Structure 1
């Protein structure tokens, strides 16, 4: 199992990013991962990191599919693979309707079919073996809609191909995870439970082909005061379980409920959506914090990691609450 480092929450100024990238590679992290919401994009920081490092893998966790056409993502991937010597791991996600429609200004489509077609188009574009043509219910290349000019023609990339680029999908719902197992090279879950993952993912992941990657992101807080560490990560867990979506559509609430924390998830969401964010944070029980995060003194985290090593995880992407924890976690690993 590889140790990865999430760059979420790390300032995007050049000096900080450069220092963290070098520290990660020198400390033995196998990969660094960036994401995007409605601030920094996921790819530009990786291009900068690629220029400062030599071996560490560069992952997006995640790049939002609705933000770019599949061909635009293919161009970015092909460029970064050439510049980095083939170190990019492409992690994709559908995001949610609040961001897709509220920020990108495009319709939120059914994630399963959109992702399936998006990955199919990407693979053809990255292979570069033939002109890009695709006819699906979501994507049509060349475009042939009623408002088309009729002048579009199939093209093939002028860049060196990168057909072996790993494509991972951030999926949580049962149907989307099943699609990822069928179409992608790996899964990028969030709020992974090393003790209860099989309740939500077991039957589906049992069908995954050999070499299928599972790369969850886990928040980590190292410190002698266990209660203080738990309190450091509670706000993030409460945000996702309670506020990353609406009452009718929150993938994280549903996932935690499938783990067996249905009452806890419902209470956290109700408090958060009512405006009582402090109450929502307080409603995240110690048991749930300990299950979904790495918290406490290093010997305790070592014990927690034993459970993570027993499951199907291939890359553990650690998101430390403080950069001072970067080397201690790597040394423990």
Structure 2
């Protein structure tokens, strides 16, 4: 199982966070993932990280396909792969209507079809084919007297940059298993993974191109070596409340839908009701304790070793740790411990 680092949303202290990523790389981390959502863009930060790291892989988590044309996504990925010496992975996702329509003013329609077409267009660009595409949602070039098929000027470092699709719903997960190099999961409960995602993964894999590598399954987890105290897990509980309550509307919230499929329907409704009515601390307190524990990785080395075996059994191949220890020295030490535990698993 590969060890990665999941950064938080951009804000103050980015330079210090990058200094820490450099130490995480020395401690054995192999990948760093930069989120985007409706924060600062991921691209500028990934370029900065490309200059500060040596060997670790870089990934977006995720770039939103509605906010950039498929060709621009391909150009951006090729550019990041170039400045990093072939270390970039294009984490791609549809996000949700609240962000895409509410923040970007772009209609959120046909996410599955648009994702499929975007993946194909990106791969054609990286192969330096004169770009033509006649899809249901993207037509390249547009009809007329002036446009003509073009190919990217520069020769990409790699003709095939890994694409990692973020997905929660069954059809999106199946699409990732069919077309992508990797699946970026969120809030994965390893004990429920087969029941909730097994059929979708099997469906997608049944149509998977044999030329693709085995599907990489990456999962972000808040992580620490130590007792799972309320103080240590308070941030994770608050983030779960944010996603269950506020990352989407009452009628369309993908995280809330996922937690319902895990079996927490009543609790998911309560968290959402509290969050949307402005009672955020109460919403965080209402997040079920078993869900907090299942979607984090905090405990003694023996406990973590057993949990890692559970993640491996659920098909996870990349663990994206968000270290929680209070000091930088402790966080780097914990990452080194996790590296050793992963090697044992």
Q: In structure 1, what is the equivalent of residue 190 of structure 2?
A: 194
Matched, 1:173 2:169: yes
Deviations 1:64-98 (A, max 9, x none): 11121111111111112122111111110111112
Which residue does 1:91 correspond to in 2?
91
In structure 1, the residue matched to 2:71 is 71
Pick one of 330, 336, 339 that aligns with 1:330. 336
1:10 Cα deviation (Å)?
6.0
Q: Provide Cα deviations, 1:186-207, integer angstroms capped at 9, x if missing partner.
A: 1101101111111221112234
Which is worse superposed, 12-21 or 208-217?
12-21
1:281-300: CA deviation from partner (whole Å, max 9, x where unpaired):
11112211111112344543
| 1:115 shift after superposition | 0.4
1:1-333 paired onto structure 2 within 5 Å: 1-9=1-9, 11=11, 15-128=15-128, 130-144=129-143, 150-161=145-156, 162-207=158-203, 208=205, 209=208, 211-224=214-227, 226-322=229-325, 323=328, 324-333=330-339
SS at match of 1:215: strand
Cα 1:10–1:245 change in 2 (3 A) is closer
1:214-241 CA-to-partner distances (Å, cap 9, x unmatched) read 1111222454352332333210111111
Q: Deviations over 1:229-284 (max 9, x none)?
A: 23332101111112111111000111111112222212211221222212211111
1:177, distance to aligned residue in structure 2 (A): 1.3
Alpha carbons 1:174, 1:201 under 8 Å: kept: yes
Greater mean alpha carbon deviation, residues 304-313 or residues 92-101: 304-313
Instruction: State the Cα deviation string for residues 287-333 of structure 1 (Å, max 9, x = none).
Output: 11111112344543333223112221111111234554243133233
Moved over 6 A (4+): none
C-alpha distance in 2 between matches for 1:256 and 1:201: 12
Aligned residues: 328
TM-score, length of structure 1 as denominator length: 0.92
Q: Which runs of 5+ in 1 are unaligned?
A: none
Q: Which runs of 5 or more structure 2 residues have no equivalent in the other structure?
A: 340-345
Contact 2:238 2:284 in 1 (8 A): yes
| CA deviations over 1:94-153 (Å, ceiling 9, x no partner) | 11112112222211122111101111111111111x200101111111123xxxx64221
CA distance, structure 1, for counterparts of residue 277 and residue 319 of structure 2: 34
TM-score (norm 2): 0.89
For the 8 Å contact 2:9–2:35, the answer to whether it is kept is no
Report if the CA contact (8 A) 2:228-2:298 is conserved.
no
Q: What is the RMSD of the two structures over their aligned residues, measured on CA atoms?
A: 1.9
SS of 1:318's equivalent?
A: strand
Contact 1:221 1:233 (C-alpha < 8 Å) held by counterparts: no
Tell me if the contact between 1:4 and 1:317 (Cα under 8 Å) persists in the aligned partners: yes
3-state SS of the aligned residue for 1:244?
Answer: coil
